[in-house]
């Protein structure tokens, strides 16, 4: 999170994991929550990764019939449970980020990176 916060304003950050769902989904959920995304939107964002990985999952299962597809298939109930437990323990993404060592300034920098300035027009 500190790396994302400290990245220059005109640069991006790529984060990923092997299957692109759990670790990536958790980081995305925390960041989306930080800027006020609804749980419904966070769940939709998590679930959409399935649309982009289904061909890979099917190929993997075809080549490896004993492979448990659930390992790479994003299931909405996984993210729902994560959000429930996360909110019970930390209360909010901001409180979590403070607990893991980010400063108020770094949190504000993260928010600024994730939100579009309304004065900026996208062509």
Average pLDDT for residues 26-32, to the nearest whole number?
95
Q: How confident is the model at residue 22 (pLDDT cuts 50, 70, 90)?
A: confident
- The length of the chain in residues reads 123
Q: Which two tokens stand for residue 90?
A: 């930390």
* Predicted local confidence at residue 20, as pLDDT: 64
Query: What whole-number distance in Å separates Cα of residue 39 and Cα of residue 30?
Result: 11
Average pLDDT for residues 20-41, to the nearest whole number?
91
* Predicted local confidence at residue 118, as pLDDT: 58
* Predicted local confidence at residue 26, as pLDDT: 93
The better pLDDT of the pair 116, 13 is held by 13
Sign of torsion over alpha carbons 77, 53, 7, 37 = negative
Q: Are 79 and 25 in contact (CB under 8 A)?
A: yes
Instruction: Select which of 17, 44, 76, 85 is catalytic.
Output: 17
* Predicted local confidence at residue 37, as pLDDT: 96
* Residue 61 annotated in active site: no
Q: What confidence tens digit (pLDDT) does each residue in 32-75 have?
A: 999 999 999 999 999 888 888 888 888 888 998 888 877 777 88
* Domains of the chain, start order: 2-114 (3.90.190.10)
């Amino acid at each position: 999170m500190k790396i994302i916060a400290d990245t220059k304003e005109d640069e991006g950050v790529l984060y990923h994991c092997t299957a692109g769902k759990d670790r990536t989904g958790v980081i995305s959920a925390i960041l989306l929550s930080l800027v006020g995304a609804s749980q419904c939107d966070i769940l939709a964002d998590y679930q959409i990764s399935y649309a982009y990985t289904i061909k890979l999952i099917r190929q993997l299962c075809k080549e490896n019939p004993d492979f448990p597809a659930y390992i790479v298939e994003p299931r909405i109930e996984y993210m729902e449970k994560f959000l429930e437990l996360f909110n019970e323990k930390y209360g909010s993404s901001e409180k979590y980020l403070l607990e893991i060592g980010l400063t108020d300034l770094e949190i504000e920098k993260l928010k600024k990176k994730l939100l579009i300035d309304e004065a900026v027009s996208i062509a």
